[in-house]
Amino acid sequence: MLSFIPQKAECPNCYKSLDTKPIRNQDCPHCGKPILIRNGELLTEEDSKIEDWLLRLEGLGVTRNDFDNNRDQLSKKFGKQASINDTIWSILNQLIMKYGKNLNMLEQIYREMASMVSSEGRDPTQYLMEAEKVRNRRLPESKSEKEVFLGHDELAYIRGLRKEGKLEKAEELLYKAEPSPAVLDEIRKIASDRARSAKKIGDWQSVVKHLESYSDYASKWRDYCVKMVNQEPPLHTANDIKLLQEAKQKLGE
């Protein structure tokens, strides 16, 4: 009978031996730095980010050699090692030139640009709009009355704006976006935040206005939302429904 022999490995950060090879992300017991797992390989946090980006850009033909060569060139130009994001940004700009006539590729490049600037806490609107322009050229029959489509990173950027209290800036982008359930949920949360702020100063009319404005918007886009992902728009929470009822009672409605 064969006995199980634990597989040994080295920390990719400090190169010290580990008792067993990790099977999930963990910190090194020696140096304390993160060890991340990608396809069974042990990677540093930086290498894992590089691999994640290369996986995203694989369909655009970007390889690790492309990344390393671009990083070397930028590092010489900057006089210090270029960051991952600076390197990927350089590659994306080169891809615009390379795939300028390939609308499928060009749309993806602009969406990746939007994703990157969103992850850095910067406004992705201009890149989202460029992506939509390309999409409308590619699929003119499917043109939406909305200007942009928000992905995971863009929605994370908007959540950050909301948590910072930058509600107008968040709303500006949300109302330009295709009304997916995730987009509608962010609009709902902003309406809730505004209503609760209004309650604190006894402005019951504004409480009603903010909460009912979301209800009206969700109702307007219900059919689109159901058709898009077979899902109803998010409803107000039980607490917000109670707040709306309270406001109407205060106003004698």
> If pLDDT is split at 50, 70 and 90, which confidence band does 2 have?
very low
What integer is the mean pLDDT of 104-123? 96
pTM here is 0.84
In terms of C-beta distances under 8 Å and separation of at least 24 residues, what long-range contacts does 142-151 make, across chains too?
A: 144/178, 146/176, 146/177, 146/178, 146/179, 147/176, 147/177, 148/173, 148/176, 148/177, 148/178, 149/177, 149/178, 150/174, 150/177, 150/178, 150/180, 150/182, 150/183, 151/111, 151/114, 151/115
Q: For the chain, what are the domain ranges?
A: 9-43, 47-86, 99-175, 179-253
pLDDT digits (tens, 9 = 90+) for 21-37: 888 999 999 999 999 99
Residue 1 in this model has a pLDDT that exceeds 50: no
Give domain 179-253's CATH architecture: Up-down Bundle (1.20)
